[in-house]
Chain A
């Protein structure tokens, strides 16, 4: 099947809204890395009295899908309270764009993660609310909901591809069930490691295909 972008994705890619930098932002966060394909930085200016997002900008080292999602989520976040903006989901962003090819959904997830990280940083640094999670099976499960299975663009928890999560003194073991010659096996394992590694308290991640 032909993998295509919607007209809305192309429009936001061509003329992205809110692109750029905010000098002296109230919060800023970077998600992703060139090694994993895309990287996005989100800057926030927040009215401290009302906790409303006055201005939001982003920069992207990324593909069309990442740039378009950065554009749409910053549009969605602007003017909202930080709690409202934190609740924006990647599915909402993708829906606003008229859908994304399943294989490109992870680029959309990354952009939403960028916005969320910036908000949580603000909450922690300015409001003193510590959002850093404790390391348990629930936290790992929540984090793995951000790892999508590229052929369908649905997360690996919903698809029941994760068979076991074990934690022992900061060492996390994740067992997945993927065909051994599936071309998405290694990229997916890499993504699981990347996501789980960023949970506080994780010392090592071991992914086994069972």
Chain B
């Protein structure tokens, strides 16, 4: 199988699996004081907190582990907005966020919060002027993402952070700034101080760690309330027994990520370049969704193949053991074209014909060449069958 759907989830690295096995079988105690096994489990969590915190410029106590990236987003958005004592509270996000962020914002809207959804340009970049214009004394929270999962756009987080910091000064209160870093962790480095982020969410399964683990960075001093309650854990934000097996796996995944980070990013970039060149040279009538070159994540490509429908392309590739994703309405449970592709100005037909290729450090040049060899005839064949023809014909 050639797996090019790594922005959805990734293979668990063998070393990660081994670390999880050890944590499950040999280090299964609950974190506790004094006893050897209890302190061993506590140290496992501290080690993982330290490693992630060090990588992003934070400190150990600023990192908590959650049950998923989605849970981290829920704690960040709900917990911080609820903690703000603001009259007629408003929240700010963009129209192209991850579904979890949009779902929490819609839930908050139902609770009476006013939500602003920042628009994006044709490459998916935030309209920062609009961001400046909507921040005011009612703003309870801002949530933005680092890399867009559908179109690979690297967003101007630091510029947004500076705008939020300025607005915070103006209103005399820190407006909490949450950054969704789940899709970015694989290819982007983060310095929480440079970005001026108060909250950052992460997901383990996007970097060859297990599913069912995420993390949340909470800057010291950030006003936040727990959204779930239970027995005391190492942090009131995440009550209950910690998932030490999952945390051990996530920790190993983070260790592996940074051990070969630059080399892996370069490797993935060279593979996406090879794939992009092959597609551009061999398939006419295509559109790249999202920016070209440096403005996009190294492992990410998303093309619309005009005159044909993405689910059909995806199914043909699947029969050749190649896994990709599509923004076609036909592949969506709601039968609607992908909202991010529509937000950057694609029409229905262009969105239906989209295929997303997201690579990992485990992919090879041979994978890319196989994908090209299979993809070209699939597109030609579906175009020959299609009711829609290129304008020249």
Interface residues of A (CB under 8 A from B): 5, 10, 13-14, 16, 19-20, 30, 34-41, 59-67, 103-104, 106-107, 150, 183-184, 186-187
Neighbour of A35 across the interface among B312, B330, B331, B349, CB < 8 A: B349
Is B385 within 8 A of A67, CB to CB? yes
Neighbour of A38 across the interface among B316, B330, B333, B385, CB < 8 A: B330
Report if A37-B329 is in contact (Cβ < 8 Å); known contacts: A67-B312, A187-B336.
yes
Residue with the greatest number of chain B CB neighbours at <10 A, chosen from A13, A36, A64, A106: A64
Query: Which residues of chain B (259-318) have a CB below 8 Å from chain A?
Result: 307-309, 311-312, 315-316
B209-247 vs A, Cβ < 8 Å mask (1 yes, 0 no): 000000000000000000000000000000000000000
Instruction: Kindly list chain A residues whose C-beta atoms are within 8 Å of the C-beta of B388.
Output: 34, 39, 61
Is A37 within 8 A of B312, CB to CB? no
Sample (7) of A-B pairs whose CB atoms are under 8 Å apart: A10-B315, A30-B387, A34-B348, A37-B348, A38-B309, A67-B312, A150-B333
Is B335 within 8 A of A37, CB to CB? yes
CA distance A106 to B334 in the complex (A): 13
Report if A13-B335 is in contact (Cβ < 8 Å); known contacts: A40-B387, A59-B385, A63-B330.
no
Is A13 within 8 A of B312, CB to CB? yes
Report if A59-B387 is in contact (Cβ < 8 Å); known contacts: A34-B352, A38-B309, A184-B334.
yes
Instruction: Kindly list chain A residues whose C-beta atoms are within 8 Å of the C-beta of B205.
Output: none
CA distance A19 to B312 in the complex (A): 15
Interface residues on B, range: 20 to 34
Is B315 within 8 A of A184, CB to CB? no
Instruction: Kindly list chain B residues whose C-beta atoms are within 8 Å of the C-beta of A40.
Output: 387
Neighbour of B386 across the interface among A59, A150, A186, CB < 8 A: A59
Nearest-neighbour CB distance to chain B for A105, whole angstroms, equals 11
CA distance A190 to B331 in the complex (A): 18
Instruction: Kindly list chain A residues whose C-beta atoms are within 8 Å of the C-beta of B348.
Output: 34-37
CA distance A162 to B21 in the complex (A): 55
Report if A61-B386 is in contact (Cβ < 8 Å); known contacts: A10-B319, A187-B336.
yes
Residue B328 CB within 8 A of the other chain: yes
Is B387 within 8 A of A37, CB to CB? no
Instruction: Kindly list chain A residues whose C-beta atoms are within 8 Å of the C-beta of B385.
Output: 16, 19-20, 59-60, 67
Instruction: Kindly list chain A residues whose C-beta atoms are within 8 Å of the C-beta of B309.
Output: 37-38, 61-63, 66
